[in-house]
Amino acid sequence: MIYSSKNLAFTLAEVLITLGIIGIVAAMTLPALTAKYQQHVLYSQFKKSYTNFQTAINSVNSENGVAYECYAFMSNGWNTSVTECEEFWTKVLSKYKILKECGFHNRSACTREDILPTYKTKAEVLAAGGSTNEAYPACIFPIGEQTGYYLSDGSLLYVYNYPNYNGNSITFGLDVNGKKGPNKWGYDFFFLTLYRKNIKSMTVGLTGICELIEKGGHTAEEMMQK
C-alpha cells in the first residue's frame, strides 16, 4: 500500500499537544539541572578559594621558619595560641591582591558599592532547619566585627582585627564568590578556624569547628570532597 504525504502529516492539535508535553517535562527538570550546575560551580569556587588561602598560610609559616602562634589545637581540652595573630594576618593578606577593603578596620574606605553581603544569624539559620558544629567553646560568629577583603580571585575574606587581634582572630570567614548569591552558610559562605591537630602538625584553615550550615548546605570538609 502506498501512503501519500498527506496521510503522514501531523495535525495542529497533535503538534500543540507534543509541544505542551515537552514544555511540562522541561519545566519539571530544568530547575533541578540548574541547581545541580550552580552547586558544581560553588564546589569549584570553594576549592579555588580554599587552595589559595592554604597556600598563603603555608607560605608565611614557611618564611617564618615555624608556624605563627595563631591557631587552636586540642590537648587535654581546647587550647589557643594567639600571640602572633596580628603579624600572621598581616603577612597572609600581603600574599593577596586586595581589590577593596571594608569593615571595622577601615570604615573610611567603604562606599555604597563596598557594602558587605548580609548573612543569616545563627538563630535564623537554626530556625530554618539549619545546623551548627560548635566543637570549639568560643564560636560566636562575629561577622559584624570583621573586616572584609575583596580579593582578586573573586572571593571575600573576613578577618577579625577590631578592636585588636585576640582569640577571635583564629576564626575567619570565606565567601567564595564575594557579593554574588546565594550568600548562605554552607553554600558559598564558610566560617573556618585556624587549627592544628597537635602542636607539631601543620596549621590548616579547613576543619569546621565553628561552622553554621543552612539547610541543604555542606561543611567545608564535604565541599573539599565533592
Which contiguous run of DSSP H or E holds residue 5?
A: helix 5-8
Q: Does 200 or 97 have the greater pLDDT score?
A: 97
Question: Average model confidence (pLDDT) for the chain?
Answer: 82
pLDDT for 177: 94
- The answer to whether 168 touches 145, Cβ cutoff 8 Å, is yes
Cell numbers at 57, concatenated:
598560610
With a cut of 90, say whether residue 49 has pLDDT above it.
yes
- The answer to whether 128 touches 215, Cβ cutoff 8 Å, is yes
**Which residue is it, cell 607560605?**
59
Which H, E and C letters describe 160-217, residue by residue? ECCCCCCHHHHEEEEECCCCCCCCCECCCEEEEECEECCCCCCCECCCCCCEEECCCC
